[in-house]
Amino acid sequence: MAAAAADAAFVCCTPGCGKPASMVCPKCKELNIHGSFFCNQTCFKGYWSEHKALHKRFKLLMADVAAKARKPLDAATLEATGDFAGDFTGYKFTSDLRPGKVTPQMRVPSLIPQPDYALTGEPLSEMLEQRTRKIAVNTPEQIEAMRRAGRVARAVMDEASAILRPGVTPDAVDRVVFAGCVSRGAYPSPLNYMGFPKSVCVSVNDVVCHGIPDSRPFENGDIVNLDVTVYIGGHHADMNETFIIGDVDEESRAIIRCSFDALKAAIDMCKPGVMYREIGDVIDAVVRPRGFSSVKRYCGHGVNRLFHCAPNVPHYRRNKTAGALKPGHTFTIEPMINGGTEACTEWPDDWTALTTDGKRSAQFEHTLLVTATGVEVLTAPGVDKPGAKAPTTIEWNEAFYTRPGTPAEEGAGAASGAGASDASAPGAGAAAAAATAE
**CB distance 426 to 32 below 8 Å:** yes
Judged on CB neighbours under 10 Å (0-12, 13-18, 19+), 248 is: buried
268 is in an annotated binding site: no
DSSP string, 407-431: PPPTT-GGGTTTT---TT-TT-SPP
79 is in an annotated binding site: no
Q: How far apart are alpha carbons 343 and 158 in whole angstroms?
A: 31
210 is in an annotated binding site: yes
Mark residue 121 as left, alpha or beta (left: phi above 0; alpha: psi -120 to 50; beta: remaining): left
The DSSP symbol for 105 reads: P
116 is in an annotated binding site: no
Q: How far apart are the first and last CA of the chain?
A: 6
Whether cis (ω within 30° of 0) applies to the bond prior to 188 is: no
241 is in an annotated binding site: no
Q: How far apart are alpha carbons 69 and 56 in whole angstroms?
A: 20
301 is in an annotated binding site: yes
315 is in an annotated binding site: no
Q: How far apart are alpha carbons 207 and 362 in whole angstroms?
A: 8
Name, in order, each residue with C-beta under 8 angstroms of 43's C-beta and a sequence gap of 6 or more: 12, 13, 14, 17, 19
Q: How far apart are alpha carbons 177 and 183 in whole angstroms?
A: 10
Binding site per annotation, positions for Zn(2+): 227, 238, 301, 334, 365
Binding residue positions:
210, 227, 238, 301, 308, 334, 365
Q: Residues annotated as binding site for a protein? A: 210, 308
